[in-house]
Amino acid sequence: MDANTLSGYILIVDDNPNNLRLLITLLSEQGYETRPANNGARALNTVQKQKPDLILLDINMPEMDGYEVCRQLKAMPETADIPVLFISANDELHDKVKGFDVGGVDYISKPFEPQELFARVRTHLQLKQAQDQLKALNHQLQASNRFFQHLGQVKDEFLGMVSHDLKNPLSSILLFSRYMESRTLSEDKAREMGRLITKAGKRMFRLIEDLLDLNKLEQGELTPELQRFDLLPLVQDVCAEYQEKAQAKGQSLNSTWETESAWIVADPLRVRQVLENLLSNALKFSPPQSEIAIRLQQEGQRVCLQVRDQGPGLSEADQAQLFEKFMRLSAKPTGGEHSSGLGLSISKKLVEAMSGTIGCTSQLGQGACFFVTFPLSPQL
């Protein structure tokens, strides 16, 4: 039914052909779309194919009377809200009461006056239209409510993250600064205090950079600078940088290159950012003396980069929320490292902005394997 007019689709159910023709003629002249059904079974079948805005239903029909048709309509959730107007020669009070009991909204006695018919049809179409609009508005309100609940949750998570991940390094900076102010320090001690202050400052700077990147990505303000390049040298370079970090934790970083080149179209700076995040997480969540394996290979027309660790693995609950912002995993870093819960969310948005895919396979207690794929760029 058109939301701005009272035109509508009306199903007319009557076993008498003359009654059907009369009702079709009268209602068609009023601008309504009509469809006839000469028995109850056909009416139910017609409703399943195309849901009418209103049904005019005779009572006295063979095999299945109008009451039973109405009962079946009201028993099905998808048709229960269709207004049913009984139109019958049965004019006794108990006939009308029974019609309302089975779900009818009105009762028109035969013979009827056309103007009365038009008025009742118009009234119930108006009511149906108002109910539909109210239902749509209710759905919108529910969706808005869910959205604002989500915003509230994100706000709480953000404030919790900021209060923890910014407050801690800031407290360290203030503590070390006061310590340096209150004492005469040797050169070595002053250098050590300076190193700790720098370390805390870098943590804060990295967190702020992550927040800014995430905001730009969500606002569509961060556009990767795409170019064609060979992914293999970039991956080799990043792995070389992380060898020292792995060794400092007693871990080994092993790489396998199953292709001599891996040309893709992407932003090298952002691809490096994603790979560094994956390697950093692998080192953080893997125990000392464990192995982190990096593999680069071609899979059909795509390049696939894998980072596999020997950490605690991920539960199904963790995997379901893995790439959401502010996500805090059940597993904790094994060396007291810090994690903002933003890196994977940023990585996913960056990879997808470069026509790539990112994902993870894991079983609890058996480590995790993160993978990133990009379309292979044919050689020029």
Lowest mean pLDDT among 182-191, 216-225, 291-300, 357-366: 182-191
Q: What is the pTM of this model?
A: 0.53
- Dihedral pair phi/psi, residue 76, rounded to 5°: -100, 125
Domain 9-138 has CATH 3.20.20.70: no
Q: pLDDT tens digit string along 104-152? A: 999 999 889 999 999 999 999 999 889 889 888 888 888 888 878 866 7
Lowest mean pLDDT among 146-155, 220-229, 299-308, 370-379: 146-155
Residue 122 CB-half CA count within 13 A: 9
| Nearest-angstrom CA–CA distance, 353 and 226 | 10
Domains 9-138 and 227-375 share a fold: no
What pLDDT, on the 0 to 100 scale, is given for residue 3?
Answer: 41
In the block, tokens 């239902």 appear at 135
Where do the structural domains in the chain lie, given as residue ranges?
A: 9-138, 166-219, 227-375
| Nearest-angstrom CA–CA distance, 204 and 145 | 34
As its CATH architecture, domain 227-375 has: 2-Layer Sandwich (3.30)
- Tell me the chain's radius of gyration from C-alpha atoms: 35
| Nearest-angstrom CA–CA distance, 350 and 357 | 10
Q: pLDDT tens digit string along 146-191? A: 878 866 776 666 666 565 556 666 776 777 777 777 777 777 877 8
Whether residue 4 is predicted with pLDDT greater than 50 in this model: the reply is: no
